[in-house]
Amino acid sequence: MTFSVTILGCGSATPSLKHFTSAQIVNVREKLFLVDCGDGTQIQLRGCRLPFGGINHIFISHLHGDHCFGLMGVISSFGLLGRTAPLFVYAPKEFEQIFKAMLDFFCSDFPFEVVFHGFDSTKQELIYDDRSVSVTTIPLKHRVPCAGFLFREKSVEDHIDRKMCDYYHVPQWEYSRIKAGGDFILEDGTVISHERLTKPADKPRSYAYCCDTAYNPQMIEQIKGVDAMYHDCTYSAQDESKANVYYHSTTRQAALIAAQAGVGQLIMGHFSARYPDESLLLEEAKQVFANSVLAKEKMAVNL
């Protein structure tokens, strides 16, 4: 079952010749979640041939333009493409008033509802929950209210081992009970254990989006052991003073968080345009946390 992250933009501040500003699609079992929405996000959605209709939930980390100026374009295109299903937008609560004013002005005649959920970015809050995945905010340290998002896949039931079930003549109507943990009892009273009749389900996966943020060890406890983390890597380790001023992170700081939280993989992003050779940023991170990769537009990471 799919759990992937597709990078639509991983530059910072303003678009460069190399990067779009922040946006990505998290695909959990074919549900598409749009995380941040910088200018031109809908162009990248088209470029990646992602279906606009598959997106029902948009998460905005904070209200700097490079994370939200593409939102009206995306919503407007949904309308033009004939959407009728409601769209849910999650953002710091400070956004509500201006967002509603923009919707009223530009989208009043649209044939679908936009439901706004404002969150308090200083707290961990469960903002989305369904059968397959939950999304919780991660309080971050930035110049304005800002939260990351923790995607946690739900456990699935063990898979039926058809060969073993056939061998013991288990009738199909027993499958649901066995998948849910039950054993099977033969006519002679012999107990065939659940473990013998099933193959264990895959481990549920998890992903943390942590952008934009200064070095923020407070979040380590929350994101411990996630399979992948996308983290603010705006600056080289040599420019830590700049990172401190603007509440961003260096490559080294991101890698330290990755190491301390024991994540599976660090996806580095939100690159400042001042570094023409990003491979140097990668080297810096790898010195602290080996399994680091540079984000890149249109790159997909499968968890």
DSSP classification of residue 121: T
Strand pairing category for 265-269 and 228-232: parallel
Phi and psi of 29, rounded to 5°? Answer: 50, 50
The Cα–Cα gap between 103 and 93 comes to 16
Instruction: Examine the residue annotation and report whether 66 is marked as an active-site residue of this protein.
Output: yes
- Mark the segment that binds a second copy (CB under 8 A) among 39-47, 148-156, 220-228, 231-239: 39-47
Of 36, 39, 153, 278, which one interacts with a second copy (CB under 8 A)? 39
Distance CA 288, CA 207 (A): 20
Q: Does 173 bind a second copy (CB under 8 A)?
A: no
Give the total residue count for the chain: 303
Q: Of the candidates 2, 14, 122, 193, which one interacts with a second copy according to CB under 8 A?
A: 14
Q: Is 81 in the site for a second copy (CB under 8 A)?
A: yes
Give the number of other Cβ atoms within 10 Å of residue 161's Cβ.
16
Q: Given the complex with a second copy, which of 70 and 139 has the nearer CB atom?
A: 70
Nearer of residues 83 and 252 to a second copy, judged by Cβ: 83
Binding flag, residue 43, a second copy (CB under 8 A): yes
Write out the binding residues for a second copy, residues 223-262 only, by CB under 8 A. none
User: Two tokens at 45?
Assistant: 């959605």
Hey, which residues between 89 and 148 contact a second copy (CB under 8 A)? 98, 101-102, 105-106
What whole-number distance in Å separates Cα of residue 32 and Cα of residue 37? 14
Catalytic annotation, pick one of 66, 158, 227, 232: 66
Is residue 160 part of the contact set for a second copy (CB under 8 A)?
no
Please name which of 171, 225, 224, 227 lies closest in space to residue 197, comparing C-alpha atoms: 171
> Closer to a second copy at the Cβ: 108 or 241?
108
At residue 52's C-alpha, the angle toward residues 48 and 56, to 5°, is 125
The CA–CA distances, whole Å, from 199 to 155, 157, 239, 245 equal 14, 10, 50, 52
Among the listed residues 20, 235, 271, 289, the single contact to a second copy using CB under 8 A = 20
Q: Least separation, in Å, of the C-beta of 87 and a second copy?
A: 15
Q: How far, in Å, CA of 137 to CA of 35, rounded?
A: 12
Q: Which of 4, 16, 132, 291 binds a second copy (CB under 8 A)?
A: 16
Distance of CA 219 to the CA centre of its chain: 16
Please state, in angstroms and rounded to a whole number, the distance separating the CA atoms of residues 205 and 185: 33
Q: Segment 47-66, which members bind a second copy (CB under 8 A)?
A: 47, 63, 65-66
Output the smallest distance, CB 100 to a second copy, in A.
11
Cβ proximity to a second copy, 40 vs 269, nearer residue: 40
Nearer Cβ to a second copy (20/88) = 20
Contacting positions for a second copy (CB under 8 A)? 13-17, 20, 38-40, 42-43, 46-47, 63, 65-66, 69-70, 72-73, 76-77, 80-81, 98, 101-102, 105-106
Active site residues: 66
